[in-house]
């Protein structure tokens, strides 16, 4: 595999896109730290990876808590000796409400997971990668890192900020052998969209020129490319995997 002997962290790896990324990393030879706030799903993911012949361990972390993310990186080094790749994927959708009615608590909650959590991840991952002479970070943003998601101001704001944070890291770490890019998926079939009603789903599908939603594996393929040496001259960038959503 193209990630043979690499050590990788994936946050929010118990479900959806993160699970597909963790499985893909493992299939390509990486030792994967599956991290999630949901212990049951995280452990199931590890079992799935192991029964497919991969190497993985579960480390619980709530990415909105700096000390838990710091401990996650520390556990990774204790378990596998180093850190080469990190995918900061954990995220939530949050309340759907007009900006003028958006509750302060919901705003804080979405920003704490979708932005603070990504910053904490990057901060502690960068510290460790710098120690071991290099590494690669992929942050999962969204198409809403560049276009609006009406009724989800907090989500749009956090995802735009992740794109900006990623640019800054690209600019700062270019000469330290650490690359960092963000990914912008459109709507992907995952449990995050489970509560979307039939009519709303049809309306969502209609926004994608390809006439369907994406699959977690279609995001994982881009993340794999950005995590591997095949993307060796790419940093600070934002890459869409959106079935044409932002083209119209």
Catalytic residues, by residue number, are 155
63 binds ligand NAD (CB under 6 A): yes
Selected binder of ligand NAD within 28, 62, 84, 95 (CB under 6 A): 62
- DSSP string over 159-173: HHHHHHHHHHHHHHH
Selected binder of ligand NAD within 6, 8, 10, 15 (CB under 6 A): 15
Selected binder of ligand NAD within 9, 83, 85, 91 (CB under 6 A): 91
Residues 6+ apart with CB under 8 A from 77: 83, 128
- Tell me, residue by residue from 92 to 121, as one string, x for binding to ligand NAD by CB under 6 A and - for no binding: x--------------------x---x----
228 binds ligand NAD (CB under 6 A): no
Strand-by-strand arrangement of the 85-88 sheet: 55-60, 31-36, 7-11, 85-88, 135-140, 178-185, 238-241
49 binds ligand NAD (CB under 6 A): no
Binding residues for ligand NAD restricted to 20-39, rule: CB under 6 A: 36-38
Looking at the Cβ atoms of 134 and 203, the one nearer to ligand NAD is: 203
14 binds ligand NAD (CB under 6 A): yes
d(CA 45, CA 66): 24
Segment interacting with ligand NAD (CB under 6 A) among 75-83, 90-98, 174-182, 225-233: 90-98
Q: How far is the CB of 176 from ligand NAD (least distance, A)?
A: 26
Query: What kind and span of H or E run contains 146?
Result: none
The pair of structure tokens assigned to 158 is 């956090």
Alpha-carbon distance values, 88 to 64, 78, 91, 139, 179 (Å): 12, 20, 9, 5, 14
d(CA 45, CA 15): 8
The pair of structure tokens assigned to 229 is 């040496």
12 binds ligand NAD (CB under 6 A): yes
Looking at the Cβ atoms of 97 and 130, the one nearer to ligand NAD is: 97
* Residue 133 dihedral angles phi and psi, to the nearest 5°: 85, 10
Beta carbons of 140 and 89 less than 8 angstroms apart: yes
Selected binder of ligand NAD within 11, 128, 156, 228 (CB under 6 A): 11
Residues near ligand NAD (CB under 6 A) are 11-12, 14-18, 36-38, 41, 61-64, 89-92, 113, 117, 140, 142, 185, 187-188, 190-193
């Amino acid at each position: 595999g193209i990630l043979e002997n690499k050590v990788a962290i994936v946050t929010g790896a118990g479900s959806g896109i993160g699970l597909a990324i963790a499985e893909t990393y493992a299939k390509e030879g990486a030792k994967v730290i599956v991290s999630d706030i949901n212990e049951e799903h995280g452990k199931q993911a590890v079992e799935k990876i192991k029964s497919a012949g991969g190497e993985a361990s579960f480390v619980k972390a709530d990415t909105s808590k700096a000390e838990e993310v710091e401990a996650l990186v520390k556990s990774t080094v204790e378990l596998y000796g180093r850190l080469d790749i990190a995918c900061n994927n954990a995220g939530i959708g949050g309340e759907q409400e007009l900006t003028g009615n958006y509750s302060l608590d919901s705003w804080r909650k979405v920003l704490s997971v979708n932005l603070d959590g990504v910053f904490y991840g990057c901060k502690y991952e960068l510290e460790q990668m710098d120690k071991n002479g290099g590494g690669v970070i992929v942050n999962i943003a969204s198409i809403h890192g560049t276009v609006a998601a009406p009724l989800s101001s907090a989500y749009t704001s956090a995802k735009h900020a992740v794109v900006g944070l990623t640019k800054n890291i690209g600019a700062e770490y270019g000469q330290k052998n650490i690359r960092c890019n963000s990914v912008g998926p459109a709507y992907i079939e995952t449990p995050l969209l489970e509560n979307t009603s039939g009519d709303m789903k049809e309306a969502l599908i209609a926004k994608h020129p390809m006439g369907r939603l994406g699959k977690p594996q279609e995001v994982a393929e881009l993340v794999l490319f950005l995590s591997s040496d095949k993307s060796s001259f790419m940093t600070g960038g934002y890459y869409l995997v959106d079935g044409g959503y932002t083209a119209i």
